[in-house]
Structure 1
Amino acid sequence: MTNASPRAPRTVVPIESTLLIAEAFDQARATELRHSVTSCAHAAGLAGQRLDDFVLAVNELITNAVRHGGGQGWLRLWRQAGELVCEVADHGSGISSRQLDDRSRPAPDTAGGWGLWLARELSDTMEVETGEAGTTVRISAALASAEHVGPHRADQPRSGPVSRRGR
């Protein structure tokens, strides 16, 4: 099946989650899909720099799937237990363990190699499953809890920056 749409990934969205987007994509749909992710992420509670960072991370994953993963992919976005999760899957030949293990920032004059590094840096968590049948990358961003929304009161602790796992 050479011209078939990409299969949906095998990962199951948890039942207590709210699925926001589940779409196949190729280069022609990348911009429209990025706008959909932006709208859904904003509606889910991301705003400002957190929103911009998450959307840029997702965009990097979409771009990687198109460039390195066979020209097309599958994106799912869902909200669960205080976080927004995005998963991008492709059917490329996988990512080498050397590349996955390299967590150093690419040199400023490097034309490529920024996608996974940026996705890791701009999200709270990042998980990668890769092999000869393709790659699935899942990132997440914590959503502000209801108790921290609104003006800060002196008797409440401020919520600090969210720690980033996977660096």
Structure 2
Amino acid sequence: MTNADPDAPRTAMPLGPSLLVAETFDQTQVTQLRHAATACAYGAGLRGQRLDDFVLAVNELTTNAVRHGGGRGVLRMWRQAGSLVCEVSDHGGGIGARLLGARGRPAPDTAGGWGLWLARELSDTMEVESDGAGTVVRITTILPTPHPTPD
């Protein structure tokens, strides 16, 4: 994904009615974004532990963008084919190959890698693209099938 504008998002996110959130953020907006993510996920049909897990995963990604990705990021959330998708991008220096390739739980005394690991554990899918121009992390959770109401 290459854009001529270095501040333009590196994403293939849909535009239109399925877009629920599109926000640039810094540390001062992380809590506000968590509340917005909760409202969107709830509105999309997530409840209980699935809602809590998805919101925690989103919070880990936004916190990582602030801490490791240049102090700010972009959060986008949308519905897509029975799933809720959240994408967090930043313009930091990227994630090292060792950490990017790690799939197991970090050792208890490890200082890094917990946020990505937790986001992967708490979502149904996770994709990461990272290089020297920044990182894009996309997570999804499958939405519950709506039950038809009797007439």
| TM score, norm. by length of structure 1 | 0.80
| Distance apart, 1:10 and its partner CA | 2.8
| Distance apart, 1:113 and its partner CA | 2.2
Give the Cα separation in 2 of the matches to 1:68 and 1:15.
Answer: 28
Runs (4 or more) in structure 1 with deviation over 6 Å come to: none
- Determine the structure 1 residue equivalent to 2:10: 10
In structure 1, give the amino acid aligned to 2:100: L
- Determine the structure 2 residue equivalent to 1:91: 91
Higher Rg: 1
**C-alpha distance after superposition, 1:99-150 (max 9, x if no partner):** 1111111123434320000000000000001001000000000001124x78
- Determine the structure 2 residue equivalent to 1:117: 117
8 A contact 1:93–1:132 mirrored in 2 = yes
Give the Cα separation in 1 of the matches to 2:39 and 2:15.
Answer: 23
Give the Cα separation in 1 of the matches to 2:98 and 2:17.
Answer: 34
Give the Cα separation in 2 of the matches to 1:128 and 1:58.
Answer: 14
Give the Cα separation in 2 of the matches to 1:27 and 1:118.
Answer: 20
Let me know the Cα RMSD of the aligned residues: 1.8
After TM superposition, the structure 1 stretch with the greater mean CA deviation from structure 2, 89-98 or 11-20, is 11-20
- Determine the structure 2 residue equivalent to 1:72: 72
After TM superposition, the structure 1 stretch with the greater mean CA deviation from structure 2, 132-141 or 92-101, is 92-101
| Shift in alpha-carbon separation, 1:141–1:8, aligned structure 2, 3 A | farther
8 A contact 1:17–1:80 mirrored in 2 = no
In structure 1, give the amino acid aligned to 2:76: R
| Equivalenced residues, count | 144
| Structure 2 segments unaligned to the other structure (5+ residues) | 1-5
- Determine the structure 2 residue equivalent to 1:134: 134
- Determine the structure 2 residue equivalent to 1:53: 53
| TM score, norm. by length of structure 2 | 0.88
